[in-house]
Amino acid sequence: MGGQHHARPPLSPLVTLTTHRTRHCLPDNNRPAVPRTMAEGPSRSFSQVKEMVAAAHRASSATEKLRFYEQWAKDYDADVHVLEYRAPFLAAEMLASLVPVGERASATVLDVACGTGLVAEQLQRLRFGRIRGIDGSSEMLAVAATKGVYESTRRCVLGDGPLPLESDAFDAVIIVGALSDGQVPHAILPELVRVAKPGAPLCLTTRSSAENAEFLLQLEGRMRELSSAGAWRLVRRQEVARWERAIADDAGEAFEGTAPPSYIPGVVYLYRKLD
């Protein structure tokens, strides 16, 4: 929530093959409408963040979503904080459970749809030292670059096609807040497995809210297919009730009123690539 492509604010934007140091691949004209709150600073209320999420939902095409995230990048971290988005912390902790502390500094980790680097910050806290990120938004990657958490980053689009990366290249792979309908498709799963080294852990997340139910069924079906094919095995599946604050109309009133806030659920998966 991120780019691809992260209630969906944590979803990282979609990602095109080039480095983030190069030009934007999309023109600045024809941008989707963005609420005035976009430029109002880092201390927005839940209602303002809710407006941002609604605007993200209105961006129906992949191109519109990417343009939206380009504009959202500077406020993204603060807005996600308002939502109490926990996936980066939970996923990093789960991935670390399969990597001994003494091996983390040298382990190469691929952070897919890395956005502004929220996941990498958590991985760095856990002593991972060689993190590489891929994402579709130059602006998101620019924010990530200020944090000094990546060994390198690359701008590329995540979809049905192959990743522009070598096979068996990474000691661990992680994708957080991007797998959902209209974001990163479950067709990416074989590519995540391909670029991981034999025996490497892979950590993935998705929302398990009602609006994502159909995608969740499809995602887990594809996961089982890969397991049956001997590509990987499931190590752990963790259901999380308080994934992030819900943005339903009544949830906003509860957050700023007298009732407790409501949350949507999510799931963290941990796999290991088979030799």
Residue-wise pLDDT tens digits, 210-266: 989 999 999 999 999 999 999 999 999 999 999 999 886 434 333 344 456 799 999
> What is the C-alpha separation between 127 and 138, in angstroms, rounded?
26
- For residues 216 and 37, is the Cβ–Cβ distance under 8 A? no
30 part of a folded domain: no
Neighbouring C-beta atoms of residue 20, cutoff 10 Å = 24
Residue with structure tokens 């890969």?
226
Report the CATH number that the domain containing residue 143 is assigned in CATH. Answer: 3.40.50.150
> What is the C-alpha separation between 121 and 144, in angstroms, rounded?
9
Residue type, 52: M
Strand partners, 266: 207, 240
| pLDDT above 90 coverage of the chain, percent | 63
Ranges 15-29, 114-128, 168-182: which has the least confidence: 15-29
* C-alpha 201, offset from chain centre: 17
**Predicted TM-score (pTM) of this structure:** 0.82
Give the residue from 204, 207, 180, 182 showing the smallest Cα distance to 191: 204
If one compares 90 and 161, the residue with the highest pLDDT of the two is: 90
The answer on pLDDT for 48 being more than 80 is yes
| pLDDT above 70 coverage of the chain, percent | 79
Per-residue confidence (pLDDT) for residue 248, from 0 to 100: 66
Residue type, 139: E
- Average predicted confidence (pLDDT) for the chain: 83
54 part of a folded domain: no
Q: Which helix (H) or strand (E) holds 158?
A: none
- Phi then psi for residue 99, to 5 deg, are -120, 115
Residue type, 211: E
138 part of a folded domain: yes
Would you state the structure tokens that stand for residue 194, as one six-digit string?
């391909």
pLDDT digit string (tens) for 54-75? 787 777 777 788 888 899 999 9
33 part of a folded domain: no
pLDDT digit string (tens) for 220-229? 999 999 999 9
Residue type, 181: D
Q: What's the domain count of the chain?
A: 1
Would you state the structure tokens that stand for residue 54, as one six-digit string?
């609604």
If one compares 53 and 40, the residue with the highest pLDDT of the two is: 53
pLDDT band at 26 (very low <50, low <70, confident <90, very high): very low
**DSSP secondary-structure letter at 248?**
S
22 part of a folded domain: no
Which structural domain, as residue segments, surrounds residue 139?
Answer: 87-273
186 part of a folded domain: yes
Q: What is the mean pLDDT of residues 113-136?
A: 98
15 part of a folded domain: no
Per-residue confidence (pLDDT) for residue 263, from 0 to 100: 93
SS3 239: strand
If one compares 159 and 274, the residue with the highest pLDDT of the two is: 274
Per-residue confidence (pLDDT) for residue 12, from 0 to 100: 42
69 part of a folded domain: no
